[in-house]
Structure 1
Amino acid sequence: MSRFDVFREAGNPMFNENQLKLGIFGPNVSNSCSMTLAETTFTPDFDTNVKIAGMMEAAGYECIVPVARWRGFGGSSNFNGRCMETYTWAAAMAAVTEKIYLFCTSHVPTMHPIAAAKMLATIDDISGGRIGLNTVTGWFPKEMNMFNGKKLEHDRGYDYANEWMEIVLRLWSEQFFDHKGEFFDIKDAWQEPKPSQSPRPVLISAGTSSRGRDYSAKFSDFNFGFIESLEHSAEWTKQMKKMAWEKYKREINTFTTSFVVCRPTEKEAREYYNYYVREQGDWEVANIICDMFGIESSSNSQEFLTKMRENFIGGWGGWALVGTPEQVADEMIRLSKTGVSGTLVSFVDYLQEMPYFNEQVLPLLEQEGIRLPVKQEALVGEGQA
């Protein structure tokens, strides 16, 4: 029986029968994914996160992925400057939710693997087997400077992450062991409790470089990435599955992210997009982040560079879902047909916008058959459990 089959038999929502799985991205950080000065009721506090999770569970979403952030990026909004730490966030959310799968996003240079493995196993117990791990090597220099004086060079970061993850997996599955590697020297390692879920917590990572994709192929169940086109989505998914199987004899799925502006008419949706992105967008912070990622090239047109910045302002570079419920649903259906397992969605104002999306878009996805009605999905999950 494959690892994915074990997840399915255990009733893990990340492996349910929905063709397009849904989650949200970044409810624990200010502005979530929108680099804008537009007004919003959204605040990254516990009470708001509980309300969002309640709406998600009622609508049958699969997961929440928080952003690991230690400081803001600057700009007029100081984007993501207010942020809840993700291990404590996950533990608190685990205690007040029942069905949603929670991920803890961890910058591996900021957390010793023994501490991370123990905390995740503790949260797994609190949640009844609903915690997963999203590993990040740490790419924002000002954040990493707060911890160890400098950001690790790209490939060295993945050397570190590989050793870090190997230790975590051994702690979850073995009783006593020694480890002497390049970065860690551990004597007589041991951990109880082990994670309660079978075969272990779900692992995701967002590597897009050759080293990042190799890390995902070796360890992760989902490679998380941003897509440039639907054709790119299909090719990326195909390549990741091929790499994981041919190199490591492992299965892997892909997951992406999207930002949503859904209104009764296309005119209303486009007007709001224009307002929060072009009129109220924090172009200063978009420039900071795009420059950090090296999104500048003489071979790229100014139109392309402007569009890239708009996508960052709209929702951290995610796939744009802008229009009527029918238009948004159609685009999500096309996205699903590329082979990705799911998408994390974000809104400027979750409490104001998510109810309309849930009421108007999700039934259209059910009609198309890429998502099961919530009651039916619950029965499937119970049968699998």
Structure 2
Amino acid sequence: MSRFDVFREAGNPMFNDNQLKLGIFGPNVNNSCAMTLAETTFKPNFETNVKIAQMMDKAGYECIVPVARWRGFGGPSNFNGECMETYTWASAIAAVTEKIYLFCTSHLPTIHPIVASKMISTIDQISKGRIGLNTVMGWFPKELEMFGGKKMQHDKGYQYATEWMEVVLKMWSQQFFDHKGEFFEIKDGWQEPKPVQSPRPVLINAGSSKPGMNFAAKYTDFHFSFLESMEQAGEWTNHIKKLAWDEYHREINTFTTSFVVCRPTEKEAWDYYNYYVREKGDDEVTDIICQLFNIDTASQSADFNKKFRDNFIAGWGGWALVGTPEQVADKLIKIAKAGVSGTLLSFVDYLVEMPYFNENVMPLLEQAGVRIPVKKEKSSKEYIFTGEMNHSAGVRDVAKEVAVSLASSK
């Protein structure tokens, strides 16, 4: 029996029968994935995260992936500056949910693998087998300098990640072991409890370089990446699957990220997109992050720069899901048909926009056969986008209500 079969038999939602799996990205940081100054009711606090997670539980989403962040990037929005740490976040959310799979996103250089393995096992007990680990090395120098270190040279960083992961896997599976490597020396390594999941917590990674993809292929269950086109999506999926099988005789799946602007009409959707991206986009923080990534926009055409920056501001460069419910559903169906296992979604205002998505896009995905219908209570809500959520109407007030309950007789 393969590792994936074991996950599936254990009832792990990341390996259920849905062809297109859905999660959300970054509800633990301010602005989530949108570099904008547009008004929003979204706050990266515990109360809001509980509402989002429980809403996802009812709608049948598979997972939540938080962003690991220790400080903001600056600019007027101080993008992602207000943030909840991901291990403690996952532990708290696990206690108030029932089905959703949760991930800890962990900067490996900031935490010892013994501490990380113990915390994951503890959360696995709390969640009854619903915790996974997203491994990242960190690329924001100011964050790592807070810990008294510097950003590692790229290839050395993945050597560190490899040894870190080997220690964690031994802690989860072995009784008493010694380890002496380049970065860690452990005598009589031991841990109880072990994770309750079989065969272990799900591992994910988004390394895009050759060492990064090799690390993902060797250790993880899902490789995350951004989409450029449906053709590229298929090529990337085939490449990482072949790499994992040929080099390590392992299975691996792919996952991507998308931002959503879904409205009753296409005009409303694009009007709001133009508002929060082009009128209210935080250009200062966008410039800061582009410099951190060494993105040279000066050598590109004006048209390329405009499209790139718009997509970056809209949702960290994720795949654009802008339009009516039918148009958004069609784009999601194409992701599934390209062979990608699923996508993490982000919204400018989760509590305002997710209910509309759940009621209007999810049924279309079920009708198309890429998701299995979830048993739901009959809805008695009519979704009305107000204020900035209905920018096409020219209203400049903050979004107030996501839904108005109709009288039961209507």
- TM-score band, normalised by the shorter chain? over 0.9
CA contact (8 A) 1:295 1:305 kept: no
2:6 paired residue number = 6
1:130 aligned onto 2:130: yes
Matches for 1:331-350 after TM superposition, within 5 Å: 331-350=331-350
Q: TM-score, normalised by structure 2?
A: 0.91
1:371 paired residue number = 371
2:85 paired residue number = 85
Q: Return the alpha-carbon distance in structure 1 between the equivalents of residues 159 and 107 of structure 2.
A: 14
For residues 268-299 of structure 1, what are the alpha-carbon distances to aligned partners after superposition, in whole Å with 9 as ceiling and x for unaligned?
A: 00000000000000011112112222222665
State the one-letter code of the partner of 1:166: E
2:212 paired residue number = 212
Q: Which moved more, 1:280-289 or 1:25-34?
A: 280-289
State the one-letter code of the partner of 1:79: F
Q: Return the alpha-carbon distance in structure 2 between the equivalents of residues 204 and 79 of structure 1.
A: 24
Q: Flag structure 2 segments of 5+ consecutive residues without an equivalent.
A: 377-410
Q: Secondary structure in 1 aligned to 2:98? A: coil
For residues 226-261 of structure 1, what are the alpha-carbon distances to aligned partners after superposition, in whole Å with 9 as ceiling and x for unaligned?
A: 111111111110100000000000000000000000
Task: Select the structure with the greater relative contact order (CA < 8 A; seq sep ≥ 6).
Answer: 1
For residues 335-372 of structure 1, what are the alpha-carbon distances to aligned partners after superposition, in whole Å with 9 as ceiling and x for unaligned?
A: 11110000000000000000000000000000000000
For residues 165-212 of structure 1, what are the alpha-carbon distances to aligned partners after superposition, in whole Å with 9 as ceiling and x for unaligned?
A: 000000000000000000001111000000001000000001011111
2:291 paired residue number = 291
Shift of 1:300: 3.0
State the one-letter code of the partner of 1:268: E
CA contact (8 A) 1:259 1:319 kept: yes
Q: Secondary structure in 2 aligned to 1:89? A: helix
Q: Secondary structure in 2 aligned to 1:166? A: helix
Matches for 1:219-230 after TM superposition, within 5 Å: 219-230=219-230
Identity of aligned residues (%): 75
Q: Return the alpha-carbon distance in structure 2 between the equivalents of residues 132 and 148 of structure 1.
A: 28
1:188 paired residue number = 188
CA contact (8 A) 1:223 1:255 kept: yes
Q: Return the alpha-carbon distance in structure 2 between the equivalents of residues 2 and 21 of structure 1.
A: 20
Q: Secondary structure in 1 aligned to 2:29? A: coil
Q: Return the alpha-carbon distance in structure 2 between the equivalents of residues 233 and 290 of structure 1.
A: 24
2:325 paired residue number = 325
CA contact (8 A) 1:296 1:305 kept: no
Q: Secondary structure in 2 aligned to 1:28? A: coil
Q: Secondary structure in 1 aligned to 2:375? A: helix
Q: In the comparison of the two structures, how many residue pairs are matched?
A: 376
Q: Return the alpha-carbon distance in structure 2 between the equivalents of residues 47 and 305 of structure 1.
A: 38
2:105 paired residue number = 105
2:25 paired residue number = 25
Q: Which moved more, 1:138-147 or 1:121-130?
A: 138-147
Q: Return the alpha-carbon distance in structure 1 between the equivalents of residues 138 and 198 of structure 2.
A: 28
1:256 paired residue number = 256
1:153 paired residue number = 153
Q: Return the alpha-carbon distance in structure 1 between the equivalents of residues 243 and 284 of structure 2.
A: 38
Higher Cα Rg, which structure: 2
Q: Secondary structure in 2 aligned to 1:57? A: helix
How big is the alpha-carbon RMSD for the aligned residues of Structure 1 and Structure 2?
1.0
